[in-house]
Structure 1
Amino acid sequence: MNFMRFRENVTIFIYDNRAIASLVINRLVLLFYLFGAAVLIYYHGYSHSLEKNIMLMWIFRRNLDFFIISFISKLFFSISYKKTVRKKINQFLIVSYLSLELIYYWISGSNLLLDLFSFLDIKDYFSLLQFFFIILFFSTLKETSVRLRAIPLNPAALLAFSFLTLIIIGTILLHLPEMTTTGTISWIDALFTSTSAACVTGLTVVDTGTYFSFKGQVVILCLIFAGGLNMLTIATFIGSLYHKAGSLHAAGVIKGFLDTDQTANLQAILRNVVIYACIIQFAGIWLVYFSWGQEVQFANFTEKFYFSLFHAMSAFNNAGFSLYADNLYHEGIRHQYFMHMAVALLIVIGGLGFLVLQDMFAKKNREDRKRHPWKKLLVNTRLVLYVTAALIITGTVLFFLLEHNNALKDYPLHGKLVASLFQSVTTRTAGFNTVDTSILSSPSIFLFMLLMFIGASPGSTGGGVKTTTFAVALKAAWANLRGKEHVEFFNRNISWVYVNKTYAVLFSAVSLIVLFTFLLLIAEPDFNFKVIFFELISAFGTVGLSLGITPELGSTGKTILVFAMFVGRIGSLTLGLALTRRVIYTKYRYPNARLMIG
């Protein structure tokens, strides 16, 4: 009887205190995650003696012991042990192993895995611990993260803040001694490289392949991957939090950032975005791997795979970073046309946008169109495909005509065609080059600047003012000149809300480009207007093509380009929304006035 009463009292205590206990545990877990991350940064960022490395590994392992305590505490304060274990199966498996290993360490004084598997060394063991740490972090991220809806920022400001945070983290990591082969890099160069990678631009002030160590290159790859997905994942994640809280603001967030009305299942959209990105990049790695020609020699499979991985991820995310000093114009690969076509394909796919890919290839959508022939692709999808194809074909033809006796004079006919196609594709925010940009004619440079300004499509990994913005602006101008009151695509009317937004995007972009160009001309008086303007549009469009002046810029010039890349990635209109307050009431109109226009 006393036992039953004791059990009842314990149950009541658990029920009454589980909310506050859960909050305390989650905050402690967050602190231990931060401490573990700091240990890893110190371990990988600096060179240490063997004794100090072992000490850091021991500290990191003891840090993991806290997660055993935290998981047991969560079980104690849970209503159903079985339900909690099923819901947190990843944590349960890792904590079970860590507990078993801890007991074994107390008994024998050695590590369980190292005793069981003689072929493992201490570095392999530490790599496994880091893997466990990452799995635990992502499996508890939802529980330990701060509620974003509690932050007093509108979604546009939150998006800008997320990119800013990513850039700052990347800058700190790239400045660590172990990230470069020389052990030193200036803060401005670390900031520039971090911004260029996070904003998937590709402009560089140092050679990525030789200046950065393997660790530094991995940091750049992580920034590229996070930067390519950041806009989509952050927007959808914000929307899912609002949706979960019952807020109607989720629809506005998704429509604003992803240009979609699919707000019924926001978590599914986020999941599809991540799945598409991972699958396409994984397939792209092997596509590039098997497209290297015989002339390109690698030391072993690992080196070839790493080069394929780096260039495939850089291409899909429209980043333009390369491990070669002369980008893809490097001696030995400038005529690897199969490899160039593989990279171009990844650039185009990444530049279409995930929602376009979902509309085209999602199983449900394909089955619906098969069952109902009258159902077609969304207007947004068709417009993106048509404009993308038109820009690629136009750019290819014009570049071939302009440069076949100049930059392409030493190429065979099929090489000229592939190179022309590649430049037409890469100028729309990718930043790779397979020709010598320093000898391009002025008309070709102007063509490049126009394509860089237009950029990729909405909701993609690319930048620029976007293909749909360009198309709507042209169609609206043509409709206005013909006296039509409506803008139409594919027998569908385009609301004037979108037309006005188009004009706002264009005006904001042009205004910022003019401002940044003016400042850059003041800061760098030794360079002429053409190269300054080209570099600025390349930065603002997050392209990464260069006429060779970026490494020669001073600190002020590099800082201006950093701002241009940042604004170009998050979008000039998004920046405006982040810095301004929305009008509360708009349901009024003053009397009409007549103006002389044109």
Structure 2
Amino acid sequence: MIFQEIREKVKLFIYDSRDIVLKLFRVSSVIVAFIAVLSILYFHGFNITSEENKVITIILRVAFGYFVIKYLVRLLFSLQPLKDFKNSLFEGVLILLVILNASFAFLFDWELIHHLGQFLNIENINWFFAVGIQLYFVLILVNEVGRAGSRLSSFNLSPPAMLIGSFFILILFGSGLLVLPEMTSSGESMPYFDALFTSISASCVTGLIVVDTATYFSLKGQMVIMLLIQLGGLNIISFASVFALIARRGIGLKHQSMLQESLNAESLSASSSLFRQIFLFSMLIEIAGAVLIFFSWKDIPEVSATSDKIFYSIFHSISAFNNAGFSVFSNGLFEEGVRNAYTLHLVIALLIILGGIGFTTMRDLFSFSRIKERYQKSWRSLRIDTKLSLYSAAILILSGFVVFYVFEVNNTLKDASIWGQVVGALFQSVTTRTAGFNTVDVGALAKPALIFSIFLMFIGASPGSTGGGIKTNTFAIIILGAWSTARGKPRLELFKRTIPYDLLNKAFLIFFISICFIALGIFGLAISEPDKSLIALSYEEVSAFCTAGLSTGITADLSTTGRVIIMLSMFLGRVGILSLAFALGRNTKVHDYKYPKASLLIG
């Protein structure tokens, strides 16, 4: 009772200053966290001296001391301190360990963390503890980004414009990290132009490279590329929404509208719930994929160390699910010893398919509520866009398999076993549409296979997926419109449903603008790269624009102008031509009147 009375008196005494103090801490914490994160980046990005190490250590200790004070003050002002402690358990436990460790070291010359590591039989626990503190600073900064993300509605920008801007910021952030000396194996800074190309390729989940990812980058550099793939693949807007929820500020209508645009959701309310399932599905599939890939290394002598198996498994799982095509092998999956690992190829192909069918399709297929609803109500079936995505993907994979098998069985697949030829043709059909992995020498493909590859890359993956291209549903609606016109039908009908003509108009807009950009890209490459064949340049441009990531091997040999064309193509292809058109276009006034119909000769 006495303690409660004292606590109430203290709270009443400090209540008037509560808002001012917390606001000051909120503003200053951004600055402190930013300085701490910059110090961490400097520590990991440069080969520092012992004196610089001491300075960084002091900065981090002072910064952490500041956040300890802030945490305690926040609990002091809190009306429900126990609840707040539970809500920030990681922060509370970390701060408690630091306080206890410092107290024991000062009073008894006895380090709690060191002995805790011995008790738990954990080697290098001090290293894990230091990583935990660095992660804490990053999370603090992420939390503030989340607060900024929740105020996106204050910007007078359309959702597509914000989507484009978010990728632009991610690319600059990635290129800034990749130029740090410690990101390369040589310890020297990567030329910024090459870092920018790599950042665009990773953020736009393309996979085209100008340097060898396996040998040029250090482990830190490869981890940065993996992070860019994850953020770019799942869409940076989705992660901004996650950060907003972390900050407990909710998601406004404009933010939901941005989610709807970027995730291709059918409504604002659906977009808000969809990104939660995106995060859950993605993490579960990538973890499961990493586990399956881990056990697929057993027959590959090139990957023997357990640490390599773990990292390679995580890297390839993220790269495959996000349809990125980056690999930590110099020749991709065509690497000696890996090219015959057919179990590994099938696992990666499955991850590519799951990442390419679209998040709305995955939710319709795997969401517990949808499965339960279909079980309880037998008349309920899969959504029409889910059916269209699945049928389109199945037809494209099957047709690609037949073409690759027919034209490559006596070419790039001739030295493989019958099972290897089947898996090889199937894998190339799956990966060509948007993933960018290769188990054969792409430059040695027969011309019919190359031409059909261009067709598959142009169509790409399903809407709302991690893949690129004009999307399967877009192509399917165009084919449906052409078929209906040829048969003289006044309406578009699919699965006993009428398809509105505005969807057909959007599909034709995407198709037309994509063809125009690709044609301009090929024209520009033909001027800047006169020594290369037209089919190789066409393959490269379609691969870049449709974020497929496959190449006949000319990417690193492109001129500066050629690389600029490829970078622009990757960026435009990733953010989506339709989003770009809406972002740059002006609102059109709609009039109630109509002009008389005109009769034109066609054909």
Q: TM-score over 0.5 for the alignment?
A: yes
Cα 1:486–1:145, aligned 2, differ >3 Å: closer, same or farther? closer
Cα 1:65–1:454, aligned 2, differ >3 Å: closer, same or farther? same
Cα 1:234–1:94, aligned 2, differ >3 Å: closer, same or farther? closer
The alpha carbon displacement at 1:421 in A equals 0.6
* Alignment gaps of 5+ in structure 2: none
The alpha carbon displacement at 1:80 in A equals 3.8
Cα 1:104–1:58, aligned 2, differ >3 Å: closer, same or farther? farther
Q: Which moved more, 1:414-423 or 1:577-586?
A: 577-586
Cα 1:69–1:239, aligned 2, differ >3 Å: closer, same or farther? closer
Residue matched to 2:166: 162
C-alpha distance in 2, partners of 1:238/1:476?
42
Residue matched to 1:38: 38
1:14 corresponds to 2:18: no
Q: CA offsets per residue over residues 462-491 of structure 1, 9 Å max, x none? A: 111111111111101111222222212211
Equivalent position amino acid for 2:185 in 1: T
The alpha carbon displacement at 1:305 in A equals 1.9
Q: CA offsets per residue over residues 261-303 of structure 1, 9 Å max, x none? A: 3543654322211111111000001111222352434332111
Q: Kindly report which structure 2 residues correspond to 1:423-438, keeping only aligned pairs within 5 A, or say none.
A: 423-438=428-443
Q: Kindly report which structure 2 residues correspond to 1:139-178, keeping only aligned pairs within 5 A, or say none.
A: 142-143=146-147, 147-178=151-182
- Residue aligned with 2:498, SS: strand
C-alpha distance in 1, partners of 2:6/2:106?
37
Give RMSD over aligned pairs.
Answer: 2.9
Match 1:590 to one of 575, 578, 595: 595
Q: Which moved more, 1:255-264 or 1:373-382?
A: 255-264
The alpha carbon displacement at 1:116 in A equals 4.5
* Alignment gaps of 5+ in structure 1: none
| Number of corresponding residues | 594
Contact kept in structure 2, 1:195 and 1:566, CA below 8 Å: yes
Match 1:445 to one of 425, 431, 450: 450
C-alpha distance in 2, partners of 1:370/1:311?
36
C-alpha distance in 2, partners of 1:12/1:82?
21
- Residue aligned with 1:178, SS: helix
C-alpha distance in 2, partners of 1:43/1:239?
29
Match 1:512 to one of 508, 514, 517: 517
Cα 1:7–1:432, aligned 2, differ >3 Å: closer, same or farther? closer
C-alpha distance in 1, partners of 2:244/2:578?
19
Residue matched to 2:408: 403
Residue matched to 2:341: 336
Equivalent position amino acid for 1:256 in 2: E
Q: CA offsets per residue over residues 524-565 of structure 1, 9 Å max, x none? A: 222222111110110111111101110011222112111111
Contact kept in structure 1, 2:210 and 2:555, CA below 8 Å: yes
The alpha carbon displacement at 1:121 in A equals 6.3
The alpha carbon displacement at 1:81 in A equals 3.2
TM-score with structure 1 setting the length: 0.92
- Residue aligned with 1:227, SS: helix
Residue matched to 2:376: 371
Residue matched to 1:53: 53
Q: Kindly report which structure 2 residues correspond to 1:433-582, keeping only aligned pairs within 5 A, or say none.
A: 433-582=438-587
C-alpha distance in 2, partners of 1:390/1:85?
54
C-alpha distance in 2, partners of 1:541/1:99?
53
Cα 1:135–1:553, aligned 2, differ >3 Å: closer, same or farther? same
C-alpha distance in 1, partners of 2:388/2:218?
43
Q: Kindly report which structure 2 residues correspond to 1:415-430, keeping only aligned pairs within 5 A, or say none.
A: 415-430=420-435
TM-score with structure 2 setting the length: 0.91
Contact kept in structure 2, 1:239 and 1:254, CA below 8 Å: no
Residue matched to 1:85: 85
Cα 1:264–1:328, aligned 2, differ >3 Å: closer, same or farther? same
Contact kept in structure 1, 2:146 and 2:241, CA below 8 Å: no
Residue matched to 1:205: 210
Residue matched to 1:276: 281
C-alpha distance in 1, partners of 2:534/2:378?
54
Contact kept in structure 2, 1:201 and 1:544, CA below 8 Å: yes
C-alpha distance in 2, partners of 1:165/1:109?
47
Q: Which moved more, 1:348-357 or 1:23-32?
A: 23-32
C-alpha distance in 2, partners of 1:298/1:29?
44
Contact kept in structure 2, 1:317 and 1:461, CA below 8 Å: yes
Cα 1:292–1:84, aligned 2, differ >3 Å: closer, same or farther? closer
Equivalent position amino acid for 1:152 in 2: N
Equivalent position amino acid for 1:408 in 2: L
Cα 1:244–1:88, aligned 2, differ >3 Å: closer, same or farther? closer
The alpha carbon displacement at 1:362 in A equals 1.0
The alpha carbon displacement at 1:18 in A equals 4.7
Cα 1:295–1:509, aligned 2, differ >3 Å: closer, same or farther? same
C-alpha distance in 2, partners of 1:307/1:565?
25
Contact kept in structure 2, 1:293 and 1:336, CA below 8 Å: no
Contact kept in structure 1, 2:244 and 2:250, CA below 8 Å: no
Contact kept in structure 2, 1:285 and 1:312, CA below 8 Å: yes
Q: Which moved more, 1:214-223 or 1:134-143?
A: 134-143
Cα 1:478–1:240, aligned 2, differ >3 Å: closer, same or farther? farther
Identical-pair percentage: 37
Residue matched to 2:299: 294
Cα 1:121–1:217, aligned 2, differ >3 Å: closer, same or farther? same
Cα 1:85–1:246, aligned 2, differ >3 Å: closer, same or farther? closer
